[in-house]
Amino acid sequence: MAAVGGLGGLVDKNLVRREAGSTAAPRFRMLATIREFLRERLTERGEGVEAFRAHAAHMLGVAEEAGPALLGGEQSDWLERLDAELPNLRAALDWAVEHGETGLGLRLAGALWKFWEVHGHIGEGRARLAALLSLPGAGPAARAAGLQAAGHLAFLQADYSDARVWLEEGLELRRKMEDGPGVAAALNGLGLIATFESDYDAAWSVLQEAVAANRAAGAGGGEATNLNNRGRVAYYRGVLPTARALQTESARLRESLGDDWGLSLSRADLADVALAEGAVDEAEALLGESLGHFVELGSQWGVAYSLEGMAGAAVARGMPSRAVRLIATAAALRSALGETANAVRQRGLTRVLEDARRQIGGGRFDAAWEAGEASTVEDSIAYLPAESVEEPVVLPTTEPARDDGPLSPREREVAALVARGFTNRQIATELVISERTADAHVAKILSKLGFGSRAQVAAWVVGQKR
């Protein structure tokens, strides 16, 4: 209670400020000048090291609690919390490097691998892990965690050379530790590298070993990942029934675990299979669901991945300009993230672009590409449907439709912002309304549409543009 009273006093004196809104609990921040003053006083009194060690240990606890939750039903809440804690996480990592706390730093950065990926901090995460891995002093468990995370992020950046080196060292450590899920995670990464280097026989075998290791450990999330990746191998080989079966099972497992991010990926991959089978309506429905969830989770990588899938559907619909535009938007998102599509996927996208240029000519191609590069995610969602095969290349309007549908004009505005991934607090700021009013609008939208999640609202917004 004394701490609470002291905090209240600091707030009254404007030395500490409560942030507007909150995640799971109220948050306070200190003025930079006050923080620096206190840092100097702690250092002068010889208490700085212990204070910052305690801070770093606390952030490690937060990250390690978040790690498993980011693969399950609480991932959305934890992503939001980690976003709010990002300055603290960075400060803890900086302190670990500066003071030779390599083990703590590797455990912290390694636990954040999913956050680095989903919220688009791939380059930062990899750089921090690489710096820590170059330092001595970490035990085998901490080093293995760092190697796994660094290898995964390097893989996302299509740097298969560094990724393989880190993952192979990590695999050796995990085997010595008899860590089944850790072995499976390293094998999964190596299987992905083999997949995207078109060594499908090796990928198939390595990923099956990963499935077996995860099943033996009862690690359903890891098994779902392995199954989905085996499905990609089958898809690239053209064995579509096997690909469909594997990715359907992966989606079932991920849905049972509450892993919205993984479920969205499985659905996007299953959409590729549906397109290859000629089931365009099914593919578009799957991609709409994936896109809505990725937007809600704030996963720019996932948005780019879904838009690339939508480009494939546009090709199937005979809409080359739309396909070009969607690929350009996805490319801009990937560039901002500092990562690229894997080599196999990029070859497919290149073929689409080459065919589109032949069909519509250089002028319309360039116009579509420029429009796509300049598009926001909301622009892209609004542009997805088109009535005509010969669709014009124009900047889309994001003005909410004002028809006699179930939502009022204001509710349509709110729904459009939900589709862009805005929180209720952000909606309130955007529309200059109170957060309570934003809460009421979102609750009413869910009630009117009979939905249980914001992702369903996002998918509905996409569907209303058709």
Q: Model-level pTM greater than 0.75?
A: no
**C-alpha span between 443 and 217 (Å, rounded):** 41
CATH of domain 409-464: 1.10.10.10
Residue with tokens 């578009």: 284
Classify residue 136 as exposed, middle or buried by CB count within 10 Å of its CB (0-12, 13-18, 19+).
exposed
- Indicate the domain borders of the chain: 1-46, 297-395, 409-464
Give, for all 466 residues of the chain, the pLDDT tens digit. Answer: 444 445 555 555 555 555 555 445 566 555 556 556 656 666 656 655 787 889 999 999 999 998 888 777 787 788 888 988 999 999 999 999 998 999 999 999 999 998 988 887 888 999 999 999 999 989 999 999 999 999 999 998 889 999 999 999 999 999 999 999 999 999 999 999 999 999 999 999 999 999 999 999 999 999 999 999 999 999 999 999 999 999 999 999 999 998 889 999 999 999 999 999 999 999 999 999 999 888 888 888 899 999 999 999 998 888 999 999 999 999 998 888 777 788 888 888 999 999 899 999 989 999 999 989 888 777 666 656 543 344 444 433 333 333 436 787 778 888 888 887 778 877 777 776 667 677 778 888 887 887 877 877 887 887 675 5
Beta carbons of 431 and 393 less than 8 angstroms apart: no
Whether residue 289 contacts residue 267, with contact meaning beta carbons closer than 8 Å, is answered with yes
Q: How many CA atoms lie within 13 A of 239 on its CB side?
A: 13
